[in-house]
Structure 1
Amino acid sequence: MKKSKWFSMMLALVMVLTIAAGCGNNSGSNTGNEPSPAGNDPAQTDTPAGEPKALEGKLVVWTFFDQVKEMGLKFEEKNPGVEVEVNIFPGDQYQTKLLSAMQSGDNVPDVFDLERGYIGKFIDANFIADLSAMGIEDLLKDYIPYVRELGRAADGTIRAVSDHSSPGAFWYLRENAKKYLGTDDPEKIGEMVNSWDKIIELGKKVNADSGGKVFLMQNAGDLFDIGAYNTEPWVKEGKLNIDPKWKTYYETQQQIRANNVDAKLGFMSAGWGNALNDGTAILSAMPAWATFMIDNKDDKAVGKFGMAKSPEGFYTGGTYRGIYEKSPNKELAYEFIKYIASPEWQEYNLGKTGNMPGSGKVYQDNMDTFKVNLLGDQNPMKVYYELVNAMPGIAPDKYGEEVLSKWRKVAGQGITNNTSYDDVVADFKKEVKNAFPDIQVD
């Protein structure tokens, strides 16, 4: 009986040890028959249960934008097992080089940048990976609508993502605004210029009061930027489509020019920068990223500027990132795209560069606290957030930006020569027909 009892106890012990060994950590030098150094608690292992495996590998990123280097460094910092090689090419060569590489399949990057001006030429190509199929839609639910939709292809899938929104508003020198507008308060000025009719009447007064030396706006051409993304697409079902709003914009531009409301200075020209800094144009329609045009040597411009809402929201530029469909590193590349779409990166970028985010959540989380030293105590994100959320989300196409450039050219000449709207439209249609024979022009 004693022997039988002893045998039963030993058998039970062996079974317990066998079960325990099967539940242990078999990684590293452990064979499964030895107890794990970390015991049976998965939270003590290198890759805790439920957490993603540490990222490893190398990504090659092509861009025309030097800040992507810092983006790569921050991604490496977060993922020590990853190397990000960023290749920067001159902007005037980049588009051609990228298209050539994609078509040949030789020396192709894993991730590549696309600028707003030509994203429509690439977005439907079969060499751009479908990010929707990889799960990106959920990450973009709180995105500013137009930022999200600018990365959407004709088939309804997201193919590229931006980390910023590039919104614009009216910037002004506070001292100058007080002198000619009677106030430097952003909300009051926003109310004074919340319609184009108000802007024209106010512009007349400013020019008259200054003896013709000061203008309310930089350029009537600002309406090209404001109207560009608040109107219907230029091409619908293969046909040229001229949104009726363009007639209103054009006639407004004519009134601005005829009444000396604008200083006739082209965006980013030397004269434009001078007028921004010396106040000879009170309001400058300026994107958030263009503050480098303000002369802030020795902090002399700190607190000197204000920012007011324009009658409609607008944005200028934008950089999007996509993944090469045949990249052997698609999963890692997608993690990089997820990172730039995350509040983590966009909040860092906001603090470092002042670039307005693509994420609505980052706007909401920072609009009461974020400051730009040029604007003093003003909260610029409140102004931008209201403007960007009112703008329509429209997917790009291969014609949009080039057709818009034809309109800028013809309508711009029309404003200078005081040409009728109907004559401008007739000339515009000729330009489009010659440049794009595949577009049906009535």
Structure 2
Amino acid sequence: MKTKKWLGLSMTTVLAAGMLAACGSNNNGGNASPSASGSAPSSPASSAGASPSASGTDASKPLEGNLVLWTYFDGVKGLAEQFMAKNPGVKVDVQIFPGDQYQTKLMSALQTGKEAPDILDLERGYIGKFIDSKYLADLSSMGAEDLVKDYIPYVQALGRSSDDKLRAIADTSSPGGFWYLKDTAKKYLGTDDPDQISDMVSSWDKIIELGKKVAQDSGGKEHLMENAGDLFDIEAYNTQPWVQDGKLNIDPKWKDIYETQLKIRQNNVDAKLAFMSAGWGNALNDGSVVLTAMPAWAGFMIDNKDDKAKGKYGVAKTPDGYYSGGTYHAIYDKSKNKDLAYEFIKFAASEEWQKYNLDTTGNMPGTSKVFEANMTTYKNAFTGDQNVLQPFYDMVKSIPATKPDKYGEDILSTWRKVASDGVTNNKSYDDVVASFKKEVKNTFPELKVD
């Protein structure tokens, strides 16, 4: 994860255990909250089937060989370790490159072919810059369509190139929701029931009215939400693509989103705390803000020293489903170990691994089968008896399935910056759009901007 530089010292203890467990552009699918399901991981089974795989591997023989995997995310070590435990004849050398240097190093290796990895990880924030390149193997031709046939639609779509071929596959879905301390919810909302709270915050109009009440009841000291920017995060992938036919496309929905953000700020609904800042983390832990929009994998931000957070939290649905981040595994097209690398991809996409990952890290699966099979049995230490898979599953099913492109994330980041400034300075939507178009035109002169 690209951790914000301004994380305060007050979160150091919490982060020490969790930093290696999470990832994302703001974030992404990594180790998350501890599981309390109590179920043991399924017994390792042979990855070989009864007949040769579509990739050409002889399924009657144990897998053997060496793989090099490049990633930016320490949590992938767990995936590699489980794959090697199933296949003792295989060694996976996981090489981790921190921060921004990863993209540069990866692109250089792919272009030159020198010391390029067999398997490479791509984050949601920049997968669009690689997905249409000639360097990623066509997984569809290797049989991968079968691997994702039961996947959450948007998780599958994000691994597809513009020609609709699968080029990368994730093993998590990285959904978010409104997390809350039950005691705080009871105090200001009158209930800690996740279904009731989900109904109370099922629209932004409801949220604004509820936020006004929380501010009034607390004398302006407490707030319903952490930041008006939460609305941006929740709606970001529920909008049309930013570029269509070489032209900048501003979904009309962004006007409603921006003007709602202004109302949130003007009515004292949010605490003005930036995502992952020290204040944001403190509010999550001390209950000075009622609702925290947070992806499932970010449970490491909860201070659980001596199990003090056990059963103290709930998760409610957000007005629209959203996700944050995502780690995608791809194969270098010129790898000499493509068949073996594909076996690794198969394992990452398997129900076996994703169930194990859910139980041990709290990461939400990429396949709907794991959601459905564990809906009433999976428990998380933080959320106690709540069947927490249900709200996440309800939300992920509603998220549009959109393929990535090389412009989307950069333009989205530009909008976030310009709109955030607009909210802070109470600017009109038209002023924000004018500033936004100017920045897009300067950054991407090849795009047509009206």
TM value normalised by structure 2: 0.87
What is the identity, as a one-letter code, of the residue corresponding to 2:192?
D
- Secondary structure of 1:171's counterpart equals strand
Question: Does structure 1 residue 126 correspond to structure 2 residue 127?
Answer: no
2:204 alignment partner, one of 189, 196, 199: 196
1:397 alignment partner, one of 376, 392, 405: 405
Give the equivalent residue in structure 1 for 2:370: 362
Instruction: Write the distance in 2 (CA, Å) between the matches of 1:434 and 1:48.
Output: 53
Deviation at residue 79 of structure 1 after TM alignment: 1.2
Deviation at residue 68 of structure 1 after TM alignment: 1.5
Give the equivalent residue in structure 2 for 1:379: 387
Give the equivalent residue in structure 1 for 2:300: 292
Structure 1 segments, 4+ long, off by >3 Å, are 47-52
Give the equivalent residue in structure 2 for 1:87: 95
Deviation at residue 74 of structure 1 after TM alignment: 1.0
Deviation at residue 394 of structure 1 after TM alignment: 0.2
Instruction: Write the distance in 1 (CA, Å) between the matches of 2:156 and 2:99.
Output: 24
Question: Does structure 1 residue 304 correspond to structure 2 residue 300?
Answer: no
- Secondary structure of 2:197's counterpart equals helix
Give the equivalent residue in structure 2 for 1:242: 250
Aligned ranges 1:216-227 → 2 under 5 Å: 216-227=224-235
Instruction: Write the distance in 2 (CA, Å) between the matches of 1:48 and 1:226.
Output: 41
Superposition RMSD on alpha carbons, in Å? Answer: 1.1
Identity level (%): 68
Give the equivalent residue in structure 1 for 2:279: 271
Give the equivalent residue in structure 2 for 1:8: none
Instruction: Write the distance in 1 (CA, Å) between the matches of 2:295 and 2:78.
Output: 22
Question: Does structure 1 residue 162 correspond to structure 2 residue 139?
Answer: no
Instruction: Write the distance in 1 (CA, Å) between the matches of 2:370 and 2:126.
Output: 27
- Secondary structure of 1:91's counterpart equals coil
Question: Does structure 1 residue 187 correspond to structure 2 residue 208?
Answer: no
Deviation at residue 365 of structure 1 after TM alignment: 0.7
Instruction: Write the distance in 2 (CA, Å) between the matches of 1:344 and 1:401.
Output: 32
Q: Which structure's relative contact order is higher, taking Cα pairs within 8 Å and 6+ residues apart?
A: 2
Give the equivalent residue in structure 1 for 2:214: 206
- Deviation per CA, 1:243-265, whole angstroms, max 9, x where unpaired? 11111100100000000000000
Specify the structure having the higher radius of gyration (Cα): 1
Gaps in structure 1 of 5+ consecutive residues: 1-46
Deviation at residue 100 of structure 1 after TM alignment: 0.6
Give the equivalent residue in structure 2 for 1:139: 147
1:353 alignment partner, one of 353, 361, 367: 361
1:109 alignment partner, one of 108, 117, 135: 117
Give the equivalent residue in structure 1 for 2:329: 321
Instruction: Write the distance in 1 (CA, Å) between the matches of 2:261 and 2:314.
Output: 25
Give the equivalent residue in structure 1 for 2:11: none
- Secondary structure of 1:156's counterpart equals coil
Give the equivalent residue in structure 2 for 1:6: none
Give the equivalent residue in structure 2 for 1:62: 70
- Deviation per CA, 1:90-114, whole angstroms, max 9, x where unpaired? 1221111000100111001000000
Instruction: Write the distance in 2 (CA, Å) between the matches of 1:368 and 1:325.
Output: 41
Give the equivalent residue in structure 2 for 1:33: none
Deviation at residue 70 of structure 1 after TM alignment: 1.9
Give the equivalent residue in structure 1 for 2:105: 97
Deviation at residue 125 of structure 1 after TM alignment: 0.4
Counterparts in 2 of 1:208 and 1:357: CA distance versus 1, 3 Å: same
- Deviation per CA, 1:31-80, whole angstroms, max 9, x where unpaired? xxxxxxxxxxxxxxxx9974532211111100111122221111111112
Deviation at residue 341 of structure 1 after TM alignment: 0.3
Instruction: Write the distance in 1 (CA, Å) between the matches of 2:139 and 2:332.
Output: 11
Give the equivalent residue in structure 1 for 2:8: none
Deviation at residue 409 of structure 1 after TM alignment: 0.7
Instruction: Write the distance in 2 (CA, Å) between the matches of 1:121 and 1:48.
Output: 35
What is the identity, as a one-letter code, of the residue corresponding to 1:66?
D
TM value normalised by structure 1: 0.88
Gaps in structure 2 of 5+ consecutive residues: 1-47, 52-58
Counterparts in 2 of 1:260 and 1:56: CA distance versus 1, 3 Å: same
Instruction: Write the distance in 2 (CA, Å) between the matches of 1:186 and 1:236.
Output: 39
- Deviation per CA, 1:361-400, whole angstroms, max 9, x where unpaired? 0000111111111111001100100000011100000000
Counterparts in 2 of 1:130 and 1:182: CA distance versus 1, 3 Å: same
